[in-house]
Chain A
Amino acid sequence: QKEVEQDPGPLSVPEGAIVSLNCTYSNSAFQYFMWYRQYSRKGPELLMYTYSSGNKEDGRFTAQVDKSSKYISLFIRDSQPSDSATYLCAMSAGDDKIIFGKGTRLHILP
């Protein structure tokens, strides 16, 4: 079992829909949880991060962490075609070693 599991998709949703992206993990030492967005032929860029459990909101994006279930989510409200990208979840136990998921390819249909 890999430390971080993420459904690769692709996930296609109509413009304006709410998108839900998820990851599960097995290492209970993970404390830092991140979401990176990667456009085609570009490097990943940090979208959101949270520490420990709870929710964090930033504009149309909400990140949720449930450490008891070892499950994290990213919600995108009012999705736009420009949100079409690969979304990578990433985790760290508190040092600078980051473990990435495979990434979910998201397509927002105009």
Chain B
Amino acid sequence: EAEVAQSPRYKITEKSQAVAFWCDPISGHATLYWYRQILGQGPELLVQFQDESVVDDSQLPKDRFSAERLKGVDSTLKIQPAELGDSAMYLCASSIQQGTPLTDTQYFGPGTRLTVL
């Protein structure tokens, strides 16, 4: 069964350092999402791509976060500099297209757990 791949699974860094997370969506999925899940909370959308284009980055802290999906396949999320409050699980999800949740289910990867010291 096809899955969303993410790496690394765990990342520990010191504040002010740069970190990067990688996501490979399910093959053929045009829409890719990055979510942040703080411990004890539900996932919150950071950025959404349709192919290589950003369609929603309204919740992305653009002073320190950046995301790209250059060839419309895999994607990288970067934080520079990392802050203590960035400690969270970063989840990547993909769906075939943009659409309703019933027609275009979002499939989640295992996430990258970031700890900022």
- A residues in contact (CB < 8 Å) with B: 4, 6, 8, 32, 34, 41-46, 49, 51, 88, 90, 92, 94-103
A-B contact count (CB 8 A): 65
- B residues in contact (CB < 8 Å) with A: 4, 31, 40-45, 48, 56, 91, 93, 95, 98-102, 104-111, 113
Taking CB atoms, residues of chain B closer than 8 Å to A102 are 40-42
Q: Is the CB of A92 within 8 A of B110?
A: no
Cα A41 to Cα B6 with chains together (Å): 13
Closest to A100 in B: B42
A–B complex contacts, Cβ < 8 Å, 28 sampled: A4-B42, A8-B40, A32-B100, A32-B101, A42-B110, A43-B4, A43-B91, A43-B108, A43-B109, A43-B110, A44-B108, A45-B107, A45-B108, A49-B101, A49-B102, A88-B43, A90-B42, A92-B100, A95-B98, A95-B100, A96-B100, A97-B56, A98-B101, A100-B42, A102-B40, A102-B41, A102-B42, A103-B42
Cα A92 to Cα B104 with chains together (Å): 12
Closest to B105 in A: A46
